[in-house]
Amino acid sequence: MSTLRVEDLVVRFGKRTVVNGLTFDLAQGERVGIIGESGSGKTMTALAILDLLPAGANIQGGISLDGTALPLGDDREMSRLRGSRISMVFQEPLTSLNPLMPIWKQIALPLHRHHRCTRAEARARSEAWCAKVGLPQHAIPAYPHQLSGGQRQRVGIAIALCGEPGLVIADEPTSALDVTVQREILDLLLELTTQSKTSLIFISHDLAVINQMTSRVLVMHQGLLVEQGDTASVFAAPKDPYTDRLVSSAKRSAMALRELTGGPR
């Protein structure tokens, strides 16, 4: 059985369609990437799955988790699922974290809510998660503005995974980080989701990152799914003209970088 089933998903804002008839499955433990330029519908797809679309959005189609339709539109029921069954790592953690709450409390919240831990248990497990994601001891009582971008994203990963969800969606989680920190965060996310056999949807415009993080890829263009398949195969021999342009552009960028650094061509 699929962990996630998205069937004929349509998202509209007035007369503008931002996701148009998207259908795909995600198996348990599978890592699927979604690529496409800005405005292709990647993030809107993620927000639709979490039922976090902006006001004014109209959604049609079916989304099911572990064979059961998600209670889209029922905020109380969806709140019970977010964090326990499905969670998200956001692009910029500084905007998704509570600026007035210390780090340990932010990690403890889903533990207390979904696992009914006592305050002491939630704090102990929160501190354990801080260690698990590589946060230094001084970060535990700190506030988000006192941490670096990479440390804040480690907090975001801890919050997303501590409730033991079956599915995590990561939306451009390293785009605001420098290259060295980006690799550390990607390795951490890959390690933790692999260990727990958590299904992963990884959204990015960076094909090299998608190649590292996923085994299957969906290519979106102007709200449409134009190509999908094994990541390595799609990148090696793209069938859709749009995918071919994306891959060719990525290759040119890689070649330019090698020329700039004097590396082998």
| pLDDT tens for each residue of 47-61 | 999 999 999 999 999
* Burial call 26-62: b when 16+ CB within 10 Å, e when fewer: beeebbbbbbbeeebbbbbbbbbbbbebeeebebebe
| Cα distances (angstroms) measured from residue 152 to each of 49, 138, 141, 159, 236 | 24, 13, 13, 11, 35
Q: Are strands 167-171 and 199-203 parallel, antiparallel or unpaired?
A: parallel
Average pLDDT over residues 194-218: 94
pLDDT digits (tens, 9 = 90+) for 237-263: 999 999 999 999 888 876 655 555 565
- Assign 194 a pLDDT band (cuts: 50, 70, 90): very high
When pLDDT is cut at 50, 70 and 90, the band that residue 117 belongs to is: confident
pLDDT at 41: 95
Q: Which one, of 205, 186, 182, 174, lies nearest residue 91 by Cα?
A: 174
Comparing 199 with 262, the larger pLDDT belongs to 199
pLDDT at 97 (0 to 100)? 93
> How high is the pLDDT of residue 119?
84
Q: What is the pLDDT of residues 208-227, one digit of tens each?
A: 999 999 999 999 999 999 99
Write out pLDDT tens, residues 13-40. 999 999 999 999 999 999 999 999 999 9
- Structural domains of the chain, ranges and CATH numbers in brackets: 4-94+166-261 (3.40.50.300)
pLDDT of res. 145: 94
Q: Which of 75-79, 170-174, 175-179 has the lowest mean pLDDT?
A: 175-179
